[in-house]
Structure 1
Amino acid sequence: MPVHLYWGEDAYRRGQAVEQLRAAVVDPAWEAFNFGRYAGDALIDALNQAASAPFGSGGRLVWVEEARIFSHCPEGELAELARTLPHLHPNGHLLFTLQSKPDGRLKSTKLVAKVGEVREFSLIPPWQEAKLKAQVQQMAQERKVTLSAPALQLLTEAVGNDTRRLDNELEKLALFAQGRSVDAEAVGALVATTAHTSFQLAAALLAGEAATALRVLDELLRRNEPALRIQAVLVNQFRTWLWVRVLIEAGERDTQAIAAAAEIANPGRVYYLQKEVERTSALRLGRVLPILLGLEVALKSGRPERAALESAVLHIVNALR
């Protein structure tokens, strides 16, 4: 049955998948009649159109964005969904897209998953370097770009989990290479290595590398990263590190228990977090959160962002010594 559910925070890859489906289903000459795009609260209208036959050649695609039925499904909409899905036109496709994960407990989610195609487009977390490298390698192969091992490493560090930028950089490298292998020198010359993140800032702070932390902070500010967003990432990261370290010092070794206590969605991440905090203590990590709370107050009180952030960076490095 032609029902599709695409979800995940990677809006670029999700959007590409939507366009691929649209190109495969809808005849451009009849697009005005056979392509419909609806907001999430217009489900009934979308279902009515999806059940009707397409005009002319090609098929019909009805796209519902951020459909509320996957987070809260009123009985009336659920009944209409259950009634309509078995009677969709053979050449009609019904597409749902969501940024967040659909609630798997809802009958609407179970119904769509049972009869349709569900695809996930989640961003790879910045700390999962192996998966990021695999993603770069896969997208490079799709672009027919051959990367040397150093070039792959450098490109991964440069773009992180930004798939839109990765695709643009690979297009640039493909034009440059003209079928030849791309080395690290070419990546360094053509790709701006400015993918510093707040996670890298947190890692530099944890390592006590004040100069590196200030350099990463400068790059983030030059890229207009919101100061409160930087502060929020630091709070979340240091809070997680503190929980993990407290549990380690308490003798806890069960990664599932640590993940549950620290509110870590992926228990597989616990191993890496344990390695990251093995050279510090809960006492030192506990000194950081009050500094970050003071930073939030300073930013919301109108203190100049750069001065407030730089001051916090230096205080955190000192607190972790």
Structure 2
Amino acid sequence: MDSEAKQILDKLKARKYDPVYVLQGEETYYIDLISNYIEANVLSESEKSFNQVVVYGKDVTVSAILTHARRFPMMAERQVVIVKEAQEILDLQREGGAKMLLSYLQQPVPSTVLVFCHKYKTFDKRKELGKKLDQLTVCATFKKPKDERLGEFIVEHAKSRGYKVDADAIQVLAEYVGNDLSRLANEIDKVAINSKPETPITAELVMAHVGISKEYNVFELQKAMVHKDFNKVAKITTYFENHIKRNPAIPMVAFLYSFFSKVLVAHASADKSESGIAAAIKINRYFAGDYITAIRNFPLHKVLESITLLKQADLKLKGVDSASVSEGMLFKELVLRIMI
């Protein structure tokens, strides 16, 4: 878990509340995690009716938010005001709204817990309000995680649900979903619902429940290419050619381009051990084995050639110098040229 998110949640669980929280940044998972915890746990169910307000940025002004915040709680120790999608508060970007909020932050009502969920972006630190947030509020900025941290998140989230995850399943989830933690958590939960806690989550389970064909998918294609399994590569690319609408070529080319770019970096690494390769290409050590095999089966000149072929194919698929060949056939020919 993000260290800043953990620190905030630990304090909340100890029932130590601050007057104002500003949760901002590209990674919305932790913004939702913290705001949902506050919404569910700060007040009892009986207290929420009169003392908890949830509003959305596009529907309110700074003045309306502060009117809620300045109220005193009714038959409760405190009240909670949560502003979701706070990045859409129009007058917050204007000098008047920013000054109004800054004035409140300098003297917040101690019995109010005011939460701003400012998603996808951050407050401008060149402006006075942005400069003062760190000293006047609990201000947490969440960035998209690096690829090498995804395995850690997957293991941790699955563990919190009572499950273990196989290394292959971690790779499939990380590669298929990417660094969208909210979606990643949802996919893990989806698999967990259809599994038993005593049974580890495997790649097969992930593929079965997140909409990936078990046998015909880009992960299996990559693995077959890495191991120079020509029969399997031919089988998978033929399937893709016949089902191209379900398996569009452009995302698969991007996937393979990313893979071979990392293989190129791995070739340049002085340390060719699992830990050395993982550090060089900034991936979790779980995934290093395929890259070590790829280095062995794809010499440096072949990796460079493959990257060039992938770039050319990407342009053709996007309409640049494209011939009359079909999308499926173009992709199939591309893969076979990389293999030989």
Q: TM-score range by the shorter chain?
A: 0.5 to 0.7
CA positional deviation for 1:171: 4.5
CA distance in 1, matches of 2:240, 2:116: 39
CA positional deviation for 1:188: 5.1
2:45 aligns with one of 28, 34, 53: 28
**Per-residue CA shift, 1:65-97, capped at 9, x if unaligned?**
141589x94322321221111232223222222
Unaligned 5+ residue runs, structure 1?
254-267
- On the 8 A contact 1:30/1:56 being kept in 2, the answer is yes
- Aligned pair 1:81/2:107, yes or no? no
- Aligned pair 1:142/2:160, yes or no? yes
Q: What's the RMSD between the two structures over aligned residues?
A: 4.8
Q: TM-score under structure 1 normalisation? A: 0.63
| Equivalent runs, 1:121-132 vs 2, <5 Å | 122=144, 125=147, 128=148, 131-132=149-150
For 2:138, the equivalent position in structure 1 comes to 116
| Equivalent runs, 1:62-77 vs 2, <5 Å | 62-67=82-87, 73-77=93-97
CA distance in 1, matches of 2:238, 2:21: 44
| Equivalent runs, 1:187-206 vs 2, <5 Å | 192=208, 194=210, 200=219, 203=222
Query: Residue 133 and residue 236 in structure 1: after superposition, are their counterparts in 2 closer, same or farther (change >3 A)?
Result: closer
CA distance in 2, matches of 1:289, 1:24: 51
- On the 8 A contact 1:292/1:312 being kept in 2, the answer is no
Query: Residue 270 and residue 190 in structure 1: after superposition, are their counterparts in 2 closer, same or farther (change >3 A)?
Result: closer
Identical pairs, percent: 13
CA positional deviation for 1:26: 3.7
| Structure 1 letter corresponding to 2:71 | S
- On the 8 A contact 1:41/1:67 being kept in 2, the answer is no
- On the 8 A contact 2:83/2:116 being kept in 1, the answer is yes
CA positional deviation for 1:163: 0.7
The total of aligned residue pairs comes to 279
2:237 aligns with one of 214, 232, 254: 214
- On the 8 A contact 1:158/1:192 being kept in 2, the answer is no
SS of 2:208's partner is: coil
CA distance in 2, matches of 1:8, 1:212: 43
| Structure 1 letter corresponding to 2:250 | Q
SS of 1:52's partner is: coil
Unaligned 5+ residue runs, structure 2?
1-17, 178-183, 271-278
- On the 8 A contact 2:172/2:219 being kept in 1, the answer is no
**Per-residue CA shift, 1:260-303, capped at 9, x if unaligned?**
xxxxxxxx7755699878643444422322322221339xxxx9
CA distance in 2, matches of 1:282, 1:113: 47
- Aligned pair 1:53/2:72, yes or no? yes
- On the 8 A contact 2:31/2:119 being kept in 1, the answer is no
CA positional deviation for 1:183: 4.4
- On the 8 A contact 1:133/1:156 being kept in 2, the answer is yes
| Structure 1 letter corresponding to 2:157 | M
CA positional deviation for 1:23: 1.4
CA positional deviation for 1:37: 1.3
SS of 1:139's partner is: helix
CA positional deviation for 1:10: 5.6
Query: Residue 171 and residue 236 in structure 1: after superposition, are their counterparts in 2 closer, same or farther (change >3 A)?
Result: closer
SS of 1:192's partner is: helix
- Aligned pair 1:133/2:162, yes or no? no
- On the 8 A contact 2:169/2:206 being kept in 1, the answer is no
